[in-house]
Structure 1
Protein backbone atom coordinates (compact mmCIF):
# COMPACT_ATOMS: atom_id res chain seq x y z
CA UNK A 1 0.00 0.00 0.00
CA UNK A 2 1.22 3.46 -0.88
CA UNK A 3 0.02 6.85 0.35
CA UNK A 4 -2.06 7.30 -2.82
CA UNK A 5 -3.99 4.10 -1.97
CA UNK A 6 -5.55 5.52 1.20
CA UNK A 7 -9.20 6.05 0.22
CA UNK A 8 -11.17 9.03 1.43
CA UNK A 9 -8.16 10.79 2.91
CA UNK A 10 -6.94 13.03 0.11
CA UNK A 11 -5.24 15.36 2.59
CA UNK A 12 -3.25 12.46 4.01
CA UNK A 13 -2.41 10.93 0.65
CA UNK A 14 -1.05 14.24 -0.61
CA UNK A 15 0.87 15.07 2.58
CA UNK A 16 2.36 11.66 3.22
CA UNK A 17 2.94 11.04 -0.47
CA UNK A 18 5.10 14.16 -0.56
CA UNK A 19 6.89 13.13 2.63
CA UNK A 20 7.50 9.61 1.25
CA UNK A 21 9.02 11.01 -1.95
CA UNK A 22 11.21 13.32 0.15
CA UNK A 23 12.25 10.33 2.24
CA UNK A 24 13.39 8.54 -0.90
CA UNK A 25 16.04 11.21 -1.42
CA UNK A 26 16.58 11.65 2.35
CA UNK A 27 15.41 15.29 2.48
CA UNK A 28 12.51 15.05 4.92
CA UNK A 29 11.83 17.00 8.08
CA UNK A 30 13.06 15.38 11.33
CA UNK A 31 9.64 15.80 12.97
CA UNK A 32 6.17 15.45 11.52
CA UNK A 33 3.14 16.13 13.69
CA UNK A 34 -0.40 15.53 12.46
CA UNK A 35 -3.60 16.19 14.38
CA UNK A 36 -6.94 15.09 12.99
CA UNK A 37 -10.13 13.56 14.33
CA UNK A 38 -10.39 9.81 14.78
CA UNK A 39 -10.75 7.58 11.72
CA UNK A 40 -8.99 9.94 9.29
CA UNK A 41 -6.07 7.67 8.32
CA UNK A 42 -3.34 9.10 10.53
CA UNK A 43 -1.97 5.75 11.71
CA UNK A 44 -2.26 4.08 8.31
CA UNK A 45 -0.42 6.91 6.61
CA UNK A 46 2.19 7.12 9.37
CA UNK A 47 2.98 3.43 8.90
CA UNK A 48 3.28 3.95 5.14
CA UNK A 49 5.69 6.82 5.80
CA UNK A 50 7.66 4.70 8.30
CA UNK A 51 8.02 1.98 5.67
CA UNK A 52 9.05 4.53 3.02
CA UNK A 53 11.70 6.06 5.28
CA UNK A 54 13.12 2.68 6.32
CA UNK A 55 12.65 0.84 3.01
CA UNK A 56 15.78 -0.69 1.53
CA UNK A 57 14.44 -0.52 -2.06
CA UNK A 58 11.89 2.33 -2.39
CA UNK A 59 9.97 2.64 -5.65
CA UNK A 60 9.35 6.30 -6.57
CA UNK A 61 9.24 7.18 -2.88
CA UNK A 62 6.79 4.41 -1.99
CA UNK A 63 7.82 1.43 0.15
CA UNK A 64 8.58 -1.82 -1.72
CA UNK A 65 6.77 -3.92 0.94
CA UNK A 66 9.20 -6.76 0.23
CA UNK A 67 12.43 -5.90 2.06
CA UNK A 68 13.10 -6.90 5.67
CA UNK A 69 12.31 -3.40 6.98
CA UNK A 70 8.95 -3.21 5.20
CA UNK A 71 7.95 -6.73 6.17
CA UNK A 72 8.91 -6.11 9.80
CA UNK A 73 6.78 -2.96 9.99
CA UNK A 74 3.87 -4.71 8.27
CA UNK A 75 3.90 -7.74 10.56
CA UNK A 76 4.51 -5.71 13.73
CA UNK A 77 7.88 -7.21 14.60
CA UNK A 78 9.69 -3.83 14.40
CA UNK A 79 9.16 -2.39 17.86
CA UNK A 80 10.12 1.13 16.76
CA UNK A 81 6.84 1.32 14.83
CA UNK A 82 3.99 0.43 17.15
CA UNK A 83 0.48 1.62 17.83
CA UNK A 84 -0.77 2.18 21.35
Structure 2
Protein backbone atom coordinates (compact mmCIF):
# COMPACT_ATOMS: atom_id res chain seq x y z
CA UNK A 1 0.00 0.00 0.00
CA UNK A 2 2.75 2.42 0.94
CA UNK A 3 4.71 1.83 -2.28
CA UNK A 4 1.63 2.08 -4.49
CA UNK A 5 0.66 5.47 -3.01
CA UNK A 6 4.01 7.17 -3.62
CA UNK A 7 3.03 8.36 -7.09
CA UNK A 8 2.68 12.19 -7.08
CA UNK A 9 -0.41 12.07 -9.32
CA UNK A 10 -2.11 9.53 -7.06
CA UNK A 11 -1.54 11.90 -4.16
CA UNK A 12 -2.65 14.90 -6.20
CA UNK A 13 -5.86 13.52 -7.71
CA UNK A 14 -7.16 11.26 -4.93
CA UNK A 15 -7.91 11.60 -1.25
CA UNK A 16 -4.78 9.73 -0.08
CA UNK A 17 -2.63 11.86 2.23
CA UNK A 18 0.27 13.77 0.75
CA UNK A 19 2.97 13.01 1.54
CA UNK A 20 1.85 9.40 1.95
CA UNK A 21 3.78 7.94 4.86
CA UNK A 22 4.13 4.33 5.99
CA UNK A 23 1.90 5.03 8.98
CA UNK A 24 -0.93 5.95 6.60
CA UNK A 25 -0.78 2.48 5.06
CA UNK A 26 -0.57 0.84 8.48
CA UNK A 27 -3.68 2.75 9.60
CA UNK A 28 -5.56 2.12 6.34
CA UNK A 29 -5.51 -1.69 6.42
CA UNK A 30 -7.37 -2.20 9.73
CA UNK A 31 -9.71 0.71 8.93
CA UNK A 32 -10.84 -1.11 5.76
CA UNK A 33 -11.81 -4.17 7.82
CA UNK A 34 -13.72 -1.99 10.28
CA UNK A 35 -15.55 -0.18 7.47
CA UNK A 36 -16.59 -3.51 5.91
CA UNK A 37 -17.98 -4.64 9.26
CA UNK A 38 -19.87 -1.35 9.68
CA UNK A 39 -21.21 -1.41 6.10
CA UNK A 40 -19.82 2.06 5.38
CA UNK A 41 -17.23 1.48 2.63
CA UNK A 42 -16.38 -1.73 0.77
CA UNK A 43 -12.82 -1.65 -0.54
CA UNK A 44 -11.28 -4.28 -2.82
CA UNK A 45 -7.64 -4.49 -3.79
CA UNK A 46 -6.74 -4.48 -7.48
CA UNK A 47 -3.65 -6.60 -7.99
CA UNK A 48 -1.30 -7.42 -10.79
CA UNK A 49 0.12 -10.71 -9.62
CA UNK A 50 1.40 -10.08 -6.10
CA UNK A 51 1.65 -6.30 -6.57
CA UNK A 52 -1.05 -3.89 -5.39
CA UNK A 53 -2.18 -1.92 -8.43
CA UNK A 54 -5.00 0.06 -6.82
CA UNK A 55 -8.28 -0.13 -4.95
CA UNK A 56 -11.95 0.04 -5.95
CA UNK A 57 -15.23 0.01 -4.11
CA UNK A 58 -18.56 1.62 -3.27
CA UNK A 59 -18.16 4.26 -0.58
CA UNK A 60 -20.53 6.10 1.75
CA UNK A 61 -23.14 3.40 1.22
CA UNK A 62 -24.41 3.91 4.75
CA UNK A 63 -25.82 7.28 3.66
CA UNK A 64 -28.22 5.64 1.20
CA UNK A 65 -26.58 7.05 -1.94
CA UNK A 66 -23.02 5.83 -2.30
CA UNK A 67 -20.36 6.55 -4.85
CA UNK A 68 -17.84 4.40 -6.67
CA UNK A 69 -14.25 5.27 -5.80
CA UNK A 70 -11.01 3.91 -7.19
CA UNK A 71 -7.38 4.66 -7.85
CA UNK A 72 -4.87 2.86 -10.05
CA UNK A 73 -1.13 2.99 -9.54
CA UNK A 74 0.86 3.92 -12.64
TM-score (norm: length of structure 1): 0.26
Structure with more strand by fraction: 2
- Relative contact order: is structure 1 or structure 2 higher (C-alpha 8 Å, sep ≥ 6)? 1
TM-score (norm: length of structure 2): 0.28
